[in-house]
Structure 1
Amino acid sequence: MNNMLLFCFPYAGGSESIYYPWRKHLLPGIELLPIPYAGRGTRFRDTCYKNMDDALCDLFEYVKKYISGTKYSFFGHSMGGLIAYELCRKLEGEGVHPPKHVFVSGVRAPNRIRSHHLHQLPEEEFKKKLDELNGTPKEVLHNRQLMEIFLPILRSDFRLIEEYAFMPDNARLNANITALYGKGDDIVYEDMIHWKDFTKEQFGLQGYPGGHFFINDNDFDILHLINETLAEH
């Protein structure tokens, strides 16, 4: 295969480092570029995003500098999947060539995103909800100093998702879409199958054992799928 850039978008509360271990399992022709969100990881000193538009304006400039004349694809889990989709729309709208493939993982189709207000919960209720979602390590949840750092990031990310408003114009991407989901997640097959309505190209759907963070326990199989899929491009 010719070289392919793979931009990976973290879930809510995550930083680019969650994808670092993937590098050693990708085909030699695939270059992993984890997305550095503002407010965490290598961009800890930057202000967190206020909303989806804020994120898209920032990440559009980040991605654009890498992709001139280069093939690329997106992978995003949960919040990252929604950002990847919307960023693809923005790139196409600005006349930039679209990704070859978009992998959306553990996130409902854009017109099925449910409106919640978790980001507005008092601290203890918010922490309880995070515990139920099982995406924040227990050692972080029960460490007040760490939570003082992570709570603003998590609230910002949850707000981005919960205040997201889908706009139907030009909703279908000029890119293949593969949707992935956890068979034990609240986001089920019936939610994910609707992603087929958001591409003009090919669509695939794959389920894996586990809950919302199934990517952590199925990374070998998911990377095998990514390698096989991108090798065709």
Structure 2
Amino acid sequence: MSSDLNVLVAVSDPLRCLGIEAVVLGAGVARACDFASSARDLAEKMRHLERYAAVVIDLDLNDSPALDLIARVRSLSPAMGVLALDLAAGADRTLRALRSGANGVVGAQATRAEIQDALRAVAAGGRFVQASSLASLIHQISRQTPEPSHEDLSNREYQTLCLLARGMRLVDVAGALSISVKTASTYRSRLLEKLQLRTNADLIHYALSNGVGVTGAVAGQVRAGALAERR
């Protein structure tokens, strides 16, 4: 399925870009990759989506509102294949990415063959979710609980939760989401109310306990800060 078009790849890490480029070329869906390292770069390249066979978006693109970016691509080009990269490999983010307009999602454990299959599928207008994610995704969709859950949050509230859980201040959250500090504060108040939480420490504890938006070294850093605040 060779194409004269390129694949637009929105990923911040240069080394990962090289790896993705090799996978894209191996999949035979495009002649080359065009890279965007930030939300601003991606927004600029979105003006020419007709040049691309598919768009690949990292859900952790420099703490940008990736779900909004996916929705914007879908709005500008309803037929465009969009593949989301989710290194956190969380069923909640996978579901939100799909609901925002992604055709497929691959996680950190995806093999080269799975990523290539995903690229071919979304470029052809199909859908793809790697086999290892299906069980947790089905559970996420079918789960019904009366307890407060981040599933009840809007995308903006969810993004605010993820950023605050990483230890970001409201002013930084506002900058990352391109909103005012007042609006960021409103989202924080709403999510605290919906989750029945009181403080940022409670919020971070909730995020860590539920695997929301905080992984790896970042998790260790915010966990230490949260525990210190709770003492």
TM-score band, normalised by the shorter chain? Answer: 0.3 to 0.5
Q: Which has the larger radius of gyration?
A: 2
TM-score, normalised by the number of residues in structure 1: 0.39
**Larger proportion of helix:** 2
The normalised TM-score by structure 2 is 0.39
Structure with more relative contact order (C-alpha pairs < 8 Å, separation 6 or more):
1
